């Protein structure tokens, strides 16, 4: 088995490929490294690759007509991205930026596309992933209608820990977003996020560990719901 094949097998989507299809596609894979804050995908032209994040973290962002930055979602190692263009041939709908140094694996879209739809297993995995994205966006939409900034930020943190697999139920660790990264996700100013984080740290909902955040899930749930359900 080639080094390229081993590289691709770390991605759950590609583990669904037959050994034959994997060997066929492996030599076409390439890797690219990105510096922190570097642009990984530009908004606009269709992306000619299916992209997989090997290391680091990315954030999808956009800008409103009046120039405000909008944070859409984070991409964590193991995730793939750029799949919308692959599916419908239309424009890449957002910018993707490296929030840390990152390594990305690229597979040419023209070669991977027919394989994706001809296998019921892969087609189903792709649909499940898109369905999950629709669900995440629905949760995100709901958050933006929450009037209270503290509740809104707590609800956003709940989404972020929800997407983190293999954690203990009570204390969850996430890569700490910067206050600005969080602010553009929830339509608040960086200053409001900073003030809210001071409250969350003081109350023990969050604890800093280097560049990670330890989240107390029970305390977070209480705060997010406005503690109304508590005695």
Binding site for a copy of itself (CB under 8 A): 62, 64-66, 68, 70, 72, 83-84, 87-88, 90, 93-94, 117-118, 120, 123-124, 126-128, 130-135, 137-138, 140-148, 151, 155, 187, 224-226
Shortest distance in whole angstroms from residue 208 CB to a copy of itself? 26
3-class SS of residue 72: strand
Shortest distance in whole angstroms from residue 2 CB to a copy of itself? 28
Residue closer to a copy of itself (CB basis): 123 or 201: 123
Q: Are 84 and 31 in contact (CB under 8 A)?
A: no
d(CA 156, CA 163): 11
Closest CA to 39 of 51, 23, 21: 51
Shortest distance in whole angstroms from residue 116 CB to a copy of itself? 8
Rg of the chain over all Cα atoms, to the nearest angstrom: 19
Residue closer to a copy of itself (CB basis): 145 or 231: 145
Helix (H), strand (E) counts: the chain:
10, 11
Shortest distance in whole angstroms from residue 170 CB to a copy of itself? 21
d(CA 219, CA 206): 9
């Amino acid at each position: 088995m080639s080094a390229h094949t081993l590289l691709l097998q770390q991605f759950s989507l590609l583990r669904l490929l037959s050994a034959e299809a994997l060997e066929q596609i492996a030599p076409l894979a390439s890797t690219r490294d990105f510096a922190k804050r570097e642009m990984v995908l530009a908004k606009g032209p269709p992306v000619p690759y299916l992209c997989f994040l090997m290391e680091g973290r990315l954030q999808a962002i956009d800008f409103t007509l009046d120039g405000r930055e909008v944070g859409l979602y984070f991409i964590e190692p193991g995730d793939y991205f750029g799949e919308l263009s692959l599916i419908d041939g239309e424009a890449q709908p957002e910018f993707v930026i490296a929030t840390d140094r990152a390594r990305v694996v690229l597979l040419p879209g023209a070669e991977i596309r027919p394989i994706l739809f001809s296998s019921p297993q892969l087609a189903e995995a792709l649909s499940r992933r898109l369905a999950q994205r629709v669900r995440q966006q629905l949760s995100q939409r709901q958050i933006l209608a929450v009037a209270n900034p503290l509740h809104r930020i707590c609800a956003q943190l709940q989404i972020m820990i929800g997407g983190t697999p293999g954690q203990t139920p009570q204390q969850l660790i996430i890569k700490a977003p910067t206050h600005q990264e969080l602010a553009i996700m929830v339509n608040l100013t960086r200053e409001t996020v900073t003030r809210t984080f001071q409250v969350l740290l003081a109350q023990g909902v969050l604890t800093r560990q280097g560049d990670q955040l330890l989240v107390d899930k029970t305390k977070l749930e209480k705060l997010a719901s406005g503690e109304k359900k508590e005695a």
